[in-house]
Amino acid sequence: MKANMGNADRIIRIVLAVVVSYLYYVGILSGTGAIILGALAIIFLATSFVSFCPLYRPFGISTKKKS
């Protein structure tokens, strides 16, 4: 897996995951929506930590700066 995510992309995904977690914790999110957004938040965190998004690969997208 070659890294294809830049720092800004990673930070945005982490912030979104934290926001979803907070909304669930305070009770604003519940039911099926909470489950779907929770799964998406987990995926965002996982892809952020490994700096690789599998959906970027087939389209040739990379937000990582070229060195």
What would the DSSP string read from start to end of 28-61? SS-HHHHHHHHHHHHHHHHHHHHT--TTHHHHT-
- Region 50-57: mean pLDDT is 94
Residue 52 has pLDDT above 80, yes or no: yes
User: So what's the pLDDT on residue 66?
Assistant: 83
pTM value is 0.88
Predicted local distance difference test score (pLDDT) of residue 1? 82
- Per-residue pLDDT at 28: 95
Give the residue extent of every domain in the chain.
7-52
pLDDT tens, 1-47? 889 999 999 999 999 999 999 999 999 999 999 999 999 999 999 99
Length reported for the chain: 67
